[in-house]
Structure 1
Amino acid sequence: MTIGYRTYVASTYIGFNVVGFAINAWVLYVVAPLLFAPAIKVPKSILFYIFALCVGDLMTMIAMLLLVIELVFGTWQFSSMVCTSYLIFDSMNKFMAPMIVFLISRTCYSTVCLDKTRGEKAATLKYAVIQFCIALGFVMVLLWPVFAYSQVFTFYMNPNSTAQEVTVMRKCGFFPPPQIEFWFNLIACITSYAVPLFGIIYWYVSVPFFLKRRALTTLVASSSMDAALRKVITTVLLLTVIYVLCWTPYWVSMFANRIWTMEKKSIIIISYFIHLLPYISCVAYPLIFTLLNRGIRSAHAKIVADQRRRFRSLTDEASSQIRTAIRTIPGNKMKKNDLLTRTEEISSDKAASEAISEFRDGLPSQTSFPDETLL
């Protein structure tokens, strides 16, 4: 690949890498404070899955930096151990991201469509951590060929016998025996592509049918029900389109490489952009799950407002104490009764403000369909 095309591909990767870091960091900023916050309507399991998805995506973005460095310099700059770590993180993205989306869709279905006991169990943080650990252990077992057959290969190109010079190129790659590679790709395609896609579509599509049946037997407002249905349909369409567009070309190319060799420059460039698609999904999924969930946005806004109110209260109290201290210095001394009166007024105003805030927080919200779990 010539320098011009390599620069163009590297610039594209750098752009998505920067965007990926920024978006996942923002989603972590929104979701992380809610994990242990009290009185949050969004299930803790969904918050944990989004948190885990962002952490995994950030690790993938870090691994992507190594690929960008290789694209910029045209050769692998690091050791074999770093090469194996890069391929592990890169492969975990291809497994863990679809599986976490799969678990989120299952949780949404359980909390909405199943009975109260199973719904409450699926919404707990403990249950989510257990499921995530099981999925992570399963993925690490599947990735044993990556541990065994990842290495840095050295190529000697353009030898010049007159000048006694040769171009040395080092590449980080995963090259198992053909039979192991075929079965690894097949099992990976089934477990990290076909099964999650089927689960996402099945569980999310099941929710609207359940809501329709419940609307016929309950007194849920039609406008609230229509809004919930629209939200589910939007979520299903977005997730399915992004999933198919980002992962289908990747897995098709993995099997197509066994038929066509990548010798032409155009095919190599296309393969780089196909390899970029899973990284794009790292940007899209956390953004979708956060922006489409009104419960997450409102809970985060409430926490931010509480923090600002608490900070403003502290600054006001500090300012009041400073003013009081200034008035009590010699030559500008307040009378003792005036000082006590002023202190009582400050305490009274603060107590009244807190009482009003508690009253507003305790007001019942408008009756509507609870859509915090409908990601």
Structure 2
Amino acid sequence: MTIGYRTYVASTYIGFNVVGFAINAWVLYVVAPLLFAPAIKVPKSILFYIFALCVGDLMTMIAMLLLVIELLFGTWQFSSMVCTSYLIFDSMNKFMAPMIVFLISRTCYSTVCLDKTKGEKAATLKYAVIQFCIALAFVMILLWPVFAYSQVFTFYMSPNSTAQEVTVMRKCGFFPPPEIEFWFNLIACITSYAVPLFGIIYWYVSVPFFLKRRALTTLVASSSMDAALRKVITTVLLLTVIYVLCWTPYWVSMFANRIWTMEKKSIIIISYFIHLLPYISCVAYPLIFTLLNRGIRSAHAKIVADQRRRFRSLTDEASSQIRTAIRTIPGTKMKKNEFLTRTEEISSDKAASEAISEFRDTLPSQTSFPDETLL
């Protein structure tokens, strides 16, 4: 691949990295404060899964900078250990992201459709951490070929006997034996593509059927049921379309590469862009889950409003103390009665503000369905 095309591909990767860092930073800004915040209606397990998605995306995009440097220089610039680390991070996110989306869909189904005990268990942070650790251990076992067969190969190209020069190119890659590569790709395709896709569709499609059955046996407003059904259908369509469009070309290319060798420049460039598609889906997942969940947005807005109210209270109190101190300076001293009157006004305003805030917090929710769990 020529320098011009390498620069073009590298620029595309860098642009995606910038967008990915911005999106994941925003999602972390929204989700992270809610993880340990009290009185949050959104299941802590869903918040943890979204948080884990963002952290995995950020780690992968940091590792992707190594690939960008290789594209710019045309050769691998780092050691074999760094090469193995890069491939491990790259593979882990491709395994973990679909599994986390699968766990989110399962959690949504459990909190909405199952009984109260099972729903509360699935919504806890402890349960989510245990499920995540089990999935991570399973992925680490599957990735043993990456540990064993990742290495840096050196290629000697364009030898010139007259000038006694040779072009040296180093490439970081996963080079297992053909049989191990085939079975690794097959198992990876089943566990990180087929099974999560089936689970996402099955769990999410089960939710509207449950809501419809419940609406027939309870006095639930039809508008609330219709809104919940539309939300579930929108979520399923978005996740399915992004999942299929981003992951299907990737796995097709993995098996096609075993059958046809990619030597043409155009095919190599296409393979780089296909390699980018899973990263796009991984960045899209946390954004979709955050934007579609009204509970997350409202909880974050409440925390921000509380912080602003505390900040205004502190600044008002500080400015009041400063004004009082200035007025007590000789030459600007106010009368005793005026000082007492002003102090009582400030105290009454503060008490009224706190009473209004407490009253608003006790208002009941107007939603008829657990909207916070319908991701």
TM band (smaller chain): over 0.9
Measure the CA separation in 1 of the matches of 2:309 and 2:251.
51
Distance 2:273 2:333 in 1: 74
Question: Aligned partners of 2:215 and 2:329: how far apart in 1?
Answer: 70
CA distance in 2, matches of 1:307, 1:178: 58
Structure 1 residue runs of 4 or more that deviate by more than 6 Å after TM superposition: none
Alpha-carbon displacement from aligned partner over 1:55-101 (angstroms, at most 9, x marks no partner):
01111111111111111111111111111111000001110000000
Secondary structure of 1:257's match?
helix
Alignment partners' CA distance in 2, 1:6 and 1:174: 21
> Following TM superposition, by how much is the alpha carbon of 1:336 offset from its aligned partner in structure 2, in angstroms?
4.0
Question: Residue 372 of structure 2 aligns to a residue in which SS?
Answer: coil
- SS of 1:136 mapped into structure 2: helix
Return the alpha-carbon distance in structure 2 between the equivalents of residues 194 and 250 of structure 1: 13
> Could you give the per-residue CA deviations for residues 281-312 of structure 1, whole angstroms, max 9, x where no partner exists?
12210110000001001111111111111111
- What SS does the corresponding residue of 1:258 show, helix, strand or coil? helix
Q: Distance in 1 between matches of 2:84 and 2:157?
A: 24
Map of 1:357 onto structure 2: 357
Aligned to 1:167: 167
Once residues 367 and 85 of structure 1 are traced to their aligned partners in structure 2, the CA distance between those partners, rounded to angstroms, is: 47
CA displacement at 1:279 relative to structure 2: 0.8
Give the direction of change, closer, same or farther, for the CA distance of 1:310–1:246 in structure 2 (3 Å limit): same
Q: Is the 8 A contact 2:112 2:370 kept in 1?
A: no
What CA distance in whole angstroms lies between the structure 1 residues aligned with 2:127 and 2:11? 41
> Could you say if the C-alpha distance between residues 330 and 354 of structure 1 is closer, same or farther in structure 2, counting changes exceeding 3 Å?
same
Q: Distance in 2 between matches of 1:365 and 1:143?
A: 46
Q: Secondary structure at the match of 1:151?
A: strand
1:251-266 alignment to 2 at 5 Å? 251-266=251-266
SS at match of 2:153: strand
Alignment of 1:14-163 (within 5 A): 14-163=14-163
**1:154 and 1:169 in contact (8 A); partners too:** yes
Shift of 1:150: 0.9
Distance 1:337 1:48 in 2: 56
Root mean square deviation, CA, Å: 1.0
Return 5+ residue gaps in structure 1 as ranges.
none
* Residue 331 (structure 1) shift: 2.0
Q: CA deviation at 1:145?
A: 0.9
**339-348 or 314-323, which moves further after superposition?**
339-348
Q: Is the 8 A contact 1:99 1:192 kept in 2?
A: yes
Partner Cα separation in structure 1 for residue 291 and residue 164 of structure 2: 60
Q: Is the 8 A contact 1:24 1:283 kept in 2?
A: yes
- What is the alpha-carbon distance in structure 1 between the residues aligned to residue 65 and residue 249 of structure 2? 22
Describe the SS at the equivalent of 2:369: coil
TM-superposed deviation, 1:233 = 0.3
> Aligned partners of 2:234, 2:3: CA distance in 1, in Å?
42
What TM-score, normalized by structure 1, do the two folds share? 0.98
SS in 1 for 2:157: strand
Q: Is the 8 A contact 1:20 1:282 kept in 2?
A: no
Q: Identify the range of structure 1 (1-10 vs 18-27) with the bigger mean alpha-carbon deviation.
A: 1-10
Which blocks of at least 5 consecutive residues in structure 2 are unaligned?
Answer: none
Return the alpha-carbon distance in structure 2 between the equivalents of residues 297 and 129 of structure 1: 23
